[in-house]
Amino acid sequence: MLGFLLVGGLLLACSAQPLSAYHSVQLTLDRQAILVHLSNRETPSQLLLKNLPTESSLAPGLSYHPQRFELVRVSPDGRHAAFSTADHHVLVGLLDLATMKIREIDVITEGDMVAFHWTTDGRMLVYEYIPASGYRRVKGYDIESRERLVVPRTERKSAIHVTFENWGPRPHEVILRVTDIHSNEHRTETVTLIPHQR
């Protein structure tokens, strides 16, 4: 029993992603599918990599050729799972765990996904990524309004990493860590994410 408590404590201490008791979500070992186990079904539902869209709805003409699923993170309310693929054009998507329908929320060209961060109510998602420039960046997504959100433009150097630190007290407000690559100086900024303009 003590071992179980220690393992549970370590999982909490390591910020294990919160999973709803209603769902268990995992990647297959070959990362070709996301498995969704429902408490009322023996056989898991699955989202197969080969069933993802082959063309972006956000950037018409851009094609996806995913090699595998990269990251998956379940919302605290257990309703959605954010996911990304590994590819020249990274598909960032949202999976509705009840219907198994997906929504494309972003495409990252020549880059990599780093992490997903959910608000405690599961209504907003922030994700960190590395675009072709090599400098870490942050974007967001409002689940209910379906708005793609970005950090407002400010007068700052381009040679910086911008990473998620925490949620702010107001809607769409985030606390970011900004690191100057050349001087290695760090500072935090509180910003309100704004809708992405096409």
pLDDT digits (tens, 9 = 90+) for 145-189: 999 999 997 656 678 999 999 999 999 999 999 999 889 899 999
Cross-strand partners of 46: 35
Is there a domain that residue 9 lies in? no
pTM of the model: 0.84
Looking at residue 31, its pLDDT comes to 96
Is there a domain that residue 126 lies in? yes
Q: Is 25:36 a contact under the CB 8 Å cutoff? A: yes
Query: Whole domain around residue 120: which residue ranges?
Result: 19-195
Domain total for the chain? 1
Looking at residue 44, its pLDDT comes to 87
Both tokens of residue 91?
């598909």
Is there a domain that residue 157 lies in? yes
Is there a domain that residue 3 lies in? no
Q: How far is CA 196 from the centre of its chain?
A: 17
Residues 6+ apart with CB under 8 A from 27: 33, 34, 35, 69, 72
Is there a domain that residue 7 lies in? no
User: What is the rounded CA–CA span in Å between residue 168 and residue 166?
Assistant: 7
Q: What distances in angstroms separate CA 177 from CA 10, 55, 128, 161, 170, one per listed residue?
A: 26, 34, 12, 8, 18
Task: Give residue 6's pLDDT band: very low, low, confident or very high (50, 70, 90).
Answer: very low
Residues 6+ apart with CB under 8 A from 1: none
Is there a domain that residue 13 lies in? no
CATH code of the domain in which 129 resides: 2.130.10.10
Is there a domain that residue 190 lies in? yes
12-16 contacts: CB < 8 A, separation 24 or more? none
Residue carrying the six token digits 């925490």:
166
Is there a domain that residue 53 lies in? yes
